[in-house]
Amino acid sequence: MTSVFRAALGEDAFSRLHPMLQRRFDVRLGGEACVGTGVMTQIRRGPWWTVPFLQIGRMRNILIPDVSENVPFRIDNRPYLDPLGRETVTFVREYVIDGKRRRFDATMILSDGRVVDYLGTHQHLAVDLDLSVQDDGSLLLRSGAQRFHEGPVSFRFPMSLSGRATLRERFDDADGRFHIDLEVHNDRFGFLFGYRGSFVCEWMPAGPVPPRLLPLRHEPRV
């Protein structure tokens, strides 16, 4: 089977990723899963008035209001077949700050040739992702249109009330680590949240996903 990211990028672009990024983003059913462990060297947020917005996101494991440095973290990338028959990959990031457990929950599927990122514990927010390979073999990911789904309610989420994420992931041959840099900006209010860090990966055969990593519900709408 072809992985979600390989299918979205296409063979030519995927082959231009650094070989270690090819392995990491080729997580798929019948293939491998991976677990990364490392350190977020910096976790940042915008001005004080962004905190209420971030606190709302925290309630569903979408955003967090914390600021810290050198925080150990874990990311689980595990493929599974969701109840709707879609191959799905988890991107669950977990860490502890001042005794408080924090998580970013994301599950990604392929729909009409693009990656759709469901954010949060209940997949309320479906976000289109634009992927591109940079000259150094890194992967650049930008978020696009967002749609909110809850029960009978479904609408395109206005970007004036949300954030646009830009994430770059690369592999450094010198230190043998994956490096990530994420920033989330609002079109009107500017910088909301971001982090940067590095990690190493352990690969294992794809198998059953621990229930704690699964969303509490699966949203059929994209």
| Tens-digit pLDDT profile for residues 195-209 | 999 999 999 999 999
What confidence category does residue 46 fall into, taking pLDDT thresholds of 50, 70 and 90?
A: confident
Rounded mean pLDDT, 126-130: 96
CA–CA gap between residue 22 and residue 77 (Å, rounded): 14
* Extended beta strands in the chain, E state: 32-45, 68-77, 79-81, 87-90, 92-97, 100-104, 106-111, 114-119, 125-133, 139-150, 153-156, 164-172, 177-186, 190-205
Helix, strand, or coil (residue 36): strand
- Tens-place pLDDT, residues 162-193: 889 999 999 999 999 999 999 999 888 889 88
Mean pLDDT of the chain: 93
How much is the pLDDT for 53? 66
Is the confidence at residue 56, as pLDDT, over 80?
no
- Tens-place pLDDT, residues 12-40: 999 999 999 999 999 999 999 999 999 99
| The residue type at 11 | E
CA–CA gap between residue 94 and residue 177 (Å, rounded): 18
Is the confidence at residue 79, as pLDDT, over 90?
yes
92 Cβ neighbours under 8 A, 6+ residues apart: 75, 76, 103, 104, 105, 106, 213
pTM of the model: 0.92
| The residue type at 94 | E
